[in-house]
Structure 1
Amino acid sequence: MRILLITAAIPYPPASGGALRAYGILRGLVEAGHHVTLMSFGDSSQDTGPLRELCDEIITVAEPTRTKIDRLKDLLLSQQADIARRLFSEEFERRLVTLLQQQPFDIVQFEGIEVACYIPAVQQAKNTKIVFDTFNAEAELQRVIAEVDRANPRRWHVAAYSSIQSQRIRQYEGHLCRMADAVIAVSPEDAAHLKRYTPDKHIYVVPSGIHVDAYQAEYETIDLGSNSIVFTGKMDYRPNVDAMLWFVNQILPLVKDEVHVTVVGQKPHKQLEPLLEKPNIKLTGWVDSVLPYLHSTDVYVAPLRMGSGTRLKILEAMACGCAIVATDLAASGLSEDARSAMVIVNEERAFADAISKLLSDPQYRQQLGDKAQEAVRKHYDWSVLIPRLLNVYEGLGLG
């Protein structure tokens, strides 16, 4: 098949959840014998690594500039969801339409809601199926963010904004799902949320995955200090910022041991700046690879209180054999044996006690790590997941 994959950014290096998923899908489709053209926002001069060899063609368009004034106008003067306009570009749309006129594609697959604004432009193409890969149940994500922010009077204005966006995104997500020939969610939970907006639409589930072998090679270790704890993620992403603030302020003081916390991830938000004053906490910023940190830590934490989708950060930690403590939300969407390979707790005291128990019991850490590696290979290696994606295509009469 000839497949056009549309992404919000060049998925290389695959350093974020969205990039990891898009890269895994792209590589898996090519390895399965299909031809993939990639169209993304980005700079034509940027390093695309192995994508250049994997793709038939890579097309990049400069990301549109959208100011806070533009966003405020949309909030006050329109009923559109902010995310519907975030990456809209007349130049991107023009080049997409031209490409479809020049080349036939069996499938145009949209990776995430940010680029799904171009679905109408593809509907005119003959004999082309539209696949909407949702990444997140975005309306539900915004609803949870609003709920968390309402608990803090200083963030009521943010909660109000998120609540408005949740309502608008719900309508938008439903509209996008109805236009697509196939809709993919990354977890049964996300599929259930999307099904509420489009009850007549079948929602396929294809979890996000990783190439497990890449995480189990030999890596140099890093001295993270005694009783080390690691968290990974894009650190200007709201759910990750909230997770670390909650962890450091509410959970960490309850941990019995003296610990060393390393927060690994690009673009730390200014809200995290007070953490830099704490001697036992380090924010790395951008790193070439999270793997040395995952292979070196005693405990990996995922104290997420908001978010949706499959948490690729957890899959990476599992593949590296980490002992994981996570909230139920962080582990949602995972298989039962994957969930049984970590400690799942929601209360602050219970979270702290779970960390202390793991730090005091190396054998227990090893047992959890071994179970995690087995579960992630069984359920979340791309060799297992790409056939599920191809089954979606077969359901459209392709393949």
Structure 2
Amino acid sequence: MRILQLTPQFPWPTHQGTTLRNFNILKGLARGHELHLFSMLGPGDDPAAGPVSGLVASLAASPQPRRTMGARLRDLLLSPQPDMARRLWSPAAFQGLARFAREIDPDILLIEGIEMAPYFFAMREAGVPTGRAIYDAHNAETLLQQRAARADLRRPARWPAALYSAIQMLKLRRYEARLVRSVAGVAAVSERDAHFLRTLGPETRLEVVTNGVDIALYRPDESFPPVFHRPGPHLLFTGKMDFRPNVDAALWFANEVLPRLRGMGAPAHFWVVGRSPHARLKALRGRDDVTVTGEVPDVRPYIVQADVYVAPLLAGGGTRFKILEALVLAKPVVSTTLGADGIPVVDGEHLALADAPDVFARRVAELLAHEAKARAMGRRGRAFVAAQFDWSVIIPRMESLFQALA
């Protein structure tokens, strides 16, 4: 099949969940199909760098547009479209995409995330060939905003953010419903997301195509130079640190869980590792029990050398790469129930689940105190991910969606 994949940022390097999914889907599909890529380019993105150009039949790109805060505020108040639908729209980019698509005449248009949906709608309205359009829903965005609003409502200082999420939730529900009903098929990353998206478009074909990991790249026994320069034990949380659910998770763990750990006689150092730390995380920089690293070239050394990986997420959606990466590296994991949502893990078997701060602290302390138990849990977690979440298992699910619509 001739596939035209639309991505909101260049899928290399794979420095966050979006690029991890987009690159591995690209690589997997390119093995058996004629794959063409149209990508928006973020700051620093270089289409000539990395392996992408060697995997695709052709490639076109356009720089991401810049939106001022004033424009975002105006759209928040006046536009019926959600912020995510306005974020990457560029008339110049659309003209380039239209020319590219006419040359390719694709069998499949693969829309990677809701930010690229405006280009699909514009293509359809302009008579640009799309073939059968597939929406790869990286999140059920309405659910994500709903969860964010509920989390923020519990804290008066976060009520402005809760109001923003509530407004976006209403706009997103209408927009997501229109999108799901307009495409030929939808790929959802979890059963929970799939259930919600089916309510928006019950007639649209839907397949669960989870996130995954390339098992060959994640070896627990691989040796790395030391990355931790503070005394341990080391607790690790990774992710894109300007993403609100990650920011909230890091602050909640540092302020609610770490003090309880100290009170249990289990002091530890908390490492927050990931690009673009939000200004709200500056409050952690003066603490001697927390380090915010910013972007690192590779998260694997941090996971391998950590004692326990924590996923204290209070909002969000989908299937989280961070947990899959920690599990496949045989690291003991403590997560909130929401953090592990979409991954059919068994509490106490593959990882430990905890939602209240005191319970979360106790589960971490137990793993720190019982190394053999922690190692055994890590081994079971790796075996679980290797069996169900390697990309070689996942890509055929996307292909089955294509075939069902042929």
- Please tell me the TM-score bracket, short chain as reference: over 0.9
**TM-score under structure 2 length normalisation:** 0.94
Aligned AA for 2:259? P
CA distance in 2, matches of 1:94, 1:135: 25
Question: Structure 2: any 5+ residue segments left out of the alignment?
Answer: none
Give the CA deviation at 1:82: 1.1
Amino acid at match of 1:6: L
Coordinate RMSD, CA, aligned: 1.6
Of residues 235, 246, 250, the one that matches 2:241 is: 235
Structure 2 residue 6 is the aligned partner of structure 1 residue 6: yes
Letter in 1 for 2:2: R
Partner of 1:251 in structure 2? Answer: 257
Amino acid corresponding to residue 6 of structure 2 in structure 1: I
Does the aligned pair in 2 maintain the 1:2–1:107 contact within 8 Å? yes
Kindly state the Cα deviation for residue 356 of structure 1 after the two structures are TM-superposed: 0.4
Tell me how far apart the structure 1 counterparts of residues 118 and 130 of structure 2 sit (CA, whole Å).
20
Match of 1:118 in 2: 119
- Is the contact made by 2:112 and 2:136 (CA closer than 8 Å) also made in structure 1? yes
How far the C-alpha of 1:76 sits from its partner, in A, is 1.7
Residue in 1 aligned with 2:60? 59
Aligned counterparts, 1:134-173, within 5 A: 134-173=137-176
The correspondence for 2:361, drawn from 352, 356, 377, is 352
AA matched with 1:228? H
Q: Helix, strand or coil for the counterpart of 2:314? A: coil
- The answer to whether the Cα contact below 8 Å between 2:4 and 2:101 also exists between their aligned partners in 1 is no
Match of 1:262 among 252, 263, 271: 271
Q: After superposition, what is the alpha-carbon deviation per residue over 1:360-385, rounded to whole angstroms, capped at 9, x for unaligned? A: 11101111110111011111000100
Asked if structure 2 preserves the Cα contact closer than 8 Å seen for 1:221 and 1:296, the reply is no
CA distance in 2 between counterparts of 1:30 and 1:159 reads 41
Whether 1:316 and 2:325 are equivalent positions in the alignment is yes
Name the residue aligned to 1:25.
25
CA deviation vs aligned residue, 1:239-283 (integer Å, no higher than 9, x gap):
000001100101110112121111110111110111111112111
- Aligned-residue offset at 1:202: 3.3
Distance in 2 (alpha carbons) for counterparts of 1:45 and 1:396: 34
Give yes or no for contact 2:236–2:310 (8 Å, CA) kept in 1.
Answer: yes
Match of 1:41 in 2: 40
SS at match of 2:223: coil
The alpha carbon displacement at 1:75 in A equals 1.7
Is the contact between residue 326 and residue 343 of structure 1 (CA under 8 Å) also seen in structure 2?
yes
Aligned to 1:104: 105
Matched, 1:302 2:305: no
Give structure 1 stretches of 5+ with no counterpart: none
Percentage identity across paired residues of the two chains: 38
Residue pair 1:338, 1:375 contacting (<8 A) in 2 also: no
Tell me the matched-pair count.
Answer: 396
Distance, in Å, in 2 between the alignment partners of 1:386 and 1:103 is 23
**How many angstroms does 1:393 deviate by?**
0.5
Residues 337 and 375 of structure 1 are in contact (CA less than 8 Å); yes or no, is this contact kept in structure 2? no
Does the 8 Å CA contact 2:123/2:130 hold for their aligned counterparts? no
2-side partners of 1:384 and 1:129: how far apart? Answer: 23
Deviation at 1:126, TM superposition (A): 4.7
Q: TM-score, normalised by structure 1?
A: 0.96
In the TM superposition, 1:167-186 aligns within 5 A as 167-186=170-189
Query: SS where residue 210 of structure 1 aligns?
Result: coil
Cα distance in 1 for residues equivalent to 2:75 and 2:345: 42
Which range moved further: 155-164 or 324-333? 155-164
- Partner letter of residue 383 of structure 1? S
Change (3 A) 1:113 1:126: closer
